[in-house]
């Protein structure tokens, strides 16, 4: 079995011989009339066969790369280090964090993880609690009354703790907007309650009949006439549920300017202030990469990002919540009027395969292994490139996020129970991004 990631190989699903033959037949049929992107997606999504990992780029472990892949990796000269911009937020570049779950690598350097974090301001908590509260919307808003005081995860923690201390405690239900629609129930009898694991986080709508990638409308910034929410086919969304049950179906939270999945545009009348700490984090990253350069083979320098950080404003963003079976199909982020400002995204929790291509799904593409703490800046041509996430890996979350007794997370001092966060992040990948919408 090939070595895949630092924290272990792929767990292969056990299939009968008959199932293996069916899977192989489907695999061969899928090879016909496929784009390069679709072929790569099928390769990494496969649970019946071990995917080909030979061309995957490893940034955190350069020694894992083939000679061919090493030639693709070009060092970037940054004008300033993130640690110098905010020493309370970022790790000293001379320090490393050990991962006890990692048998192959003893040290991991991550600029986004640092020992000064308290539980109250940890990015995992921010993405599940502080930044995920109403009035920011989630993929569940079209189906449920989500105007609750706490975030969905916070309510899940409250309910879980109350059930431990009081066996008679009944978790409150979050009401489905379709619960009293008898016609909905009649039409949904033949549907399944299985959750949709196609990650509809960044550019698709979850649980709705018509699932499409975002497309830029003629007017990107003006809210068009609101259309009715398509009736959900899945019977799950027709019933009220408690926060713990709904948490398994949480796929994304929109931040700041709210994106309208129906009109494919931002609702200018629904601009929600972006949290100051999130805005500061992203601005520091933009400042760090302003004027970033690479050295060409002939010795000349080339600037890869010239966007003036002083003009950058965080206006919108998405927090993506990926389960172990979640995927994100190939798409392009092109609904912003400002396509020159870099799009910044940060990974937390489990590792994933990130596919990035060009201006079409048929062109060359590069698979990248993204680990917890990785920061990606999409600048220039990559800002409009097709990209997707076909695979999340189990047993890949670093121990400094899952070990509740880790010295980096002082539970006693902060009086915060880290276990619910540890339980969640050990089986999920969280990705949060920020973007500037207007010029």
| Surface-to-core class of residue 189, CB atoms within 10 Å of its CB (0-12 exposed, 13-18 middle, 19+ buried) | exposed
Handedness of CA 164, 165, 167, 171 (dihedral sign): negative
pLDDT surpassing 80 at residue 267? yes
Q: What is the pLDDT of residue 367?
A: 94
pLDDT in tens, 355-386: 999 888 888 889 999 999 899 999 988 999 99
Task: Pick the more confident residue, 105 or 166.
Answer: 166
C-alpha 338/C-alpha 341 separation (Å) is 6
Q: What is the pLDDT of residue 232?
A: 82
Q: What is the pLDDT of residue 181?
A: 54
Confidence tier at 78 by pLDDT (50, 70, 90): confident
Q: What is the pLDDT of residue 25?
A: 77
Domain 37-435 homologous superfamily, CATH: Alpha-ketoglutarate-dependent dioxygenase AlkB-like (2.60.120.590)
pLDDT surpassing 80 at residue 76? yes
Q: What is the pLDDT of residue 29?
A: 67
Tell me the HSE value of 314 on the side-chain side, using a 13 A CA sphere.
Answer: 26
Nearest to 123 by CA among 425, 413, 369: 425
Q: What is the pLDDT of residue 191?
A: 36
pLDDT surpassing 50 at residue 99? no
Task: Pick the more confident residue, 25 or 303.
Answer: 303
Confidence tier at 75 by pLDDT (50, 70, 90): confident
Which pair of structure tokens corresponds to residue 33? 């009339």
**Every domain of the chain and the residues it spans:** 37-435
Nearest to 253 by CA among 159, 403, 138: 138
Listed range (10-14, 20-24, 82-86, 232-236) with the worst mean pLDDT: 10-14
C-alpha 404/C-alpha 420 separation (Å) is 10
Which pair of structure tokens corresponds to residue 114? 């640092």
Q: What is the mean pLDDT of the chain?
A: 79
* Residue 129 neighbours by CB distance under 10 Å: 18
pLDDT surpassing 70 at residue 113? no
pLDDT in tens, 377-413: 999 889 999 999 999 999 999 888 887 665 555 544 4
Q: What is the pLDDT of residue 23?
A: 77
- Detail the residues annotated as belonging to a binding site for Fe cation: 331, 333, 387
pTM for this prediction: 0.80
pLDDT surpassing 60 at residue 95? no
- Detail the residues annotated as belonging to a binding site: 331, 333, 387
Q: What is the pLDDT of residue 297?
A: 86
C-alpha 66/C-alpha 149 separation (Å) is 50
Mean pLDDT of 102-108: 36
Confidence tier at 265 by pLDDT (50, 70, 90): confident
pLDDT in tens, 338-356: 999 999 999 999 999 999 9
Nearest to 100 by CA among 3, 7, 9: 7
Mean pLDDT of 32-51: 82
pLDDT in tens, 192-220: 344 555 554 433 343 332 323 333 333 33
Q: What is the pLDDT of residue 406?
A: 57
Confidence tier at 93 by pLDDT (50, 70, 90): low
Q: Are the CB atoms for 410 and 311 separated by under 8 Å?
A: no
Q: What is the pLDDT of residue 312?
A: 97
Nearest to 287 by CA among 270, 262, 267, 312: 312
- Classify strands 57-58 and 366-370 as parallel, antiparallel or unpaired: parallel
Q: Which helix (H) or strand (E) holds 370?
A: strand 366-370
pLDDT surpassing 70 at residue 304? yes
Mean pLDDT of 20-39: 75
Listed range (20-24, 113-117, 218-222, 265-269) with the worst mean pLDDT: 218-222
pLDDT surpassing 60 at residue 290? yes
Mean pLDDT of 41-46: 88
């Amino acid at each position: 079995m090939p070595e895949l990631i630092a924290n272990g190989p792929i767990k292969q699903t056990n299939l009968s011989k008959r199932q293996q033959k069916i899977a192989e037949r489907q695999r061969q049929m899928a090879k016909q009339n496929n784009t390069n992107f679709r072929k790569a997606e099928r390769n990494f999504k496969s649970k019946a066969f071990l995917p080909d990992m030979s061309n995957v780029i490893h940034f955190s472990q350069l020694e894992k790369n083939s000679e061919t892949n090493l030639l693709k990796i070009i060092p970037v000269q940054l004008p300033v280090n993130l640690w110098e911009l905010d020493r309370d937020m970022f790790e000293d570049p001379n320090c490393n964090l050990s991962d006890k779950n990692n048998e192959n690598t003893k040290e991991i350097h991550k600029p986004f993880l640092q020992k000064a974090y308290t539980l109250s301001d940890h990015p995992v908590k921010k993405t599940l609690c502080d930044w995920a509260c109403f009035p920011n919307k989630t993929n569940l808003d079209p189906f449920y009354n989500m105007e609750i005081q706490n975030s969905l995860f916070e309510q899940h923690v409250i309910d879980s703790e109350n059930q431990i201390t009081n066996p008679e405690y009944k978790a409150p239900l979050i009401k489905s907007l379709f619960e009293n629609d008898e016609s909905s129930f009649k039409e949904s009898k033949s549907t399944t309650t299985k959750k949709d694991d196609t990650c509809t986080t960044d550019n698709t709508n979850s649980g709705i009949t018509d699932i499409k990638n975002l497309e830029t409308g003629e007017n990107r910034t003006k809210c068009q006439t609101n259309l009715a929410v398509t009736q959900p086919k899945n019977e799950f969304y027709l019933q009220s549920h408690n926060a713990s049950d709904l948490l398994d179906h949480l796929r994304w939270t929109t931040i700041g300017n709210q994106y309208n999945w129906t009109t494919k545009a931002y609702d200018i009348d629904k601009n929600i202030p972006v949290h100051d700490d999130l805005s500061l984090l992203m601005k520091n990253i933009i400042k760090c990469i302003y004027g970033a350069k690479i050295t060409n083979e002939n010795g000349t320098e080339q600037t890869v990002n010239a966007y003036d950080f002083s003009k950058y404003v965080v206006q919108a963003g998405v927090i993506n919540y990926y389960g172990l079976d979640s995927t994100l199909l190939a798409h392009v982020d092109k609904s912003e009027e400002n396509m020159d400002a870099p799009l910044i995204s940060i990974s937390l929790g489990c590792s994933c395969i990130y596919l990035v291509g060009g201006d079409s799904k048929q062109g060359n593409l590069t698979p990248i292994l993204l680990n917890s703490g990785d920061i990606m800046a999409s600048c220039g041509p990559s800002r409009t490139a097709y990209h997707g996430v076909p695979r999340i890996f189990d047993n890949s979350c670093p121990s400094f996020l899952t070990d509740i007794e880790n010295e980096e997370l002082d539970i006693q001092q902060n009086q915060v129970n880290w276990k619910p966060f540890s339980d969640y992040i050990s089986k999920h990948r969280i990705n949060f991004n920020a973007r500037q919408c207007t010029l």
